[in-house]
Amino acid sequence: MKLIIWDFDGTLADSRPLIEAGMAHALDALGQPRSVMAEWLNYVGLPVEEGIRRTFSPLGLDGDTVLKAYRSFGHADHEDLMKPFDGVDDLLRELRGRGQAMAIATSKRRAPLLRQLEGFGWTGFFDPIVTPDEVVNGKPHPESLELIQKLTGLRPEDLLMVGDTPFDLDMAKAAGVPSLAVGHGFYREPQLAACGPRAYAPDTAALRDILLSFSQAACG
């Protein structure tokens, strides 16, 4: 395991309150019922434009109109709604102290991601960082992981993708990269197990144990 590749929202950061607040604002602005939120949450993990298209096209709403309403919430002004999951900061610092290389492959745009990494004190923890600004095809297409392989010169079997959505795990499968599913984000074990991860961690403590066991196995 030469490189751990992390998803961000729902894996490292508990951004659900921020995401839900933004969509509640958009639904209210568009005169749509809050019940639409449940359908929207089914697509968290995709690039936001694609999630909006899948949610609102069946309702006859233009994706650009919804995206404008969603972004008018001003997410940057409400980032106090998001925080690292319990234990994640300690885990990242422990892994970094052990010399473990780490990267990010996310559906979040680069500018807000870098701002949030700085806010958490994680600047410099991840290299490379791949966002929708660097690829044509977002998750679950394998392009993000293929780009990381190209940038690092590593093989698929040298990598481990850690994510909380089927889109993360399907991306890994398409790229031939082993994956690890975490259950403290937007999806639960039955949905994630169907994607064939190498292991499932319900919380950060289990995640730490699994990652350290993988590292020891690789050294052995």
Number of independent structural domains in the chain:
2
**For residue range 121-131, what is the model confidence (pLDDT) as tens digits?**
999 999 999 99
Q: Give the mean pLDDT of 107-126.
A: 97
Residue 217 pLDDT class (50, 70, 90 cuts): low
CA distance readout (Å), 26 to 23, 32, 77, 79, 82: 5, 8, 16, 17, 19
Range of the domain at 209: 3-14+83-219
Residues 32 and 103 in one domain: no
pTM, rounded to two decimals: 0.94
Residue at a domain's end among 59, 79, 99: 79
Among residues 171, 163, 164, the alpha carbon closest in space to that of 147 is found at 171
Residues β-bridged to residue 3 = 101, 159
Strand order in the sheet with 179-182: 129-130, 101-105, 3-6, 159-163, 179-182, 199-201
Residues 104 and 186 in one domain: yes
Among residues 112, 85, 115, 56, the alpha carbon closest in space to that of 186 is found at 85
Residues 38 and 113 in one domain: no
Residue 215 pLDDT class (50, 70, 90 cuts): confident
**For residue range 14-62, what is the model confidence (pLDDT) as tens digits?**
999 999 999 999 999 999 999 999 999 999 999 999 999 999 999 999 9
**For residue range 156-165, what is the model confidence (pLDDT) as tens digits?**
999 999 999 9
Residues 27 and 67 in one domain: yes
Residue at a domain's end among 39, 64, 79: 79
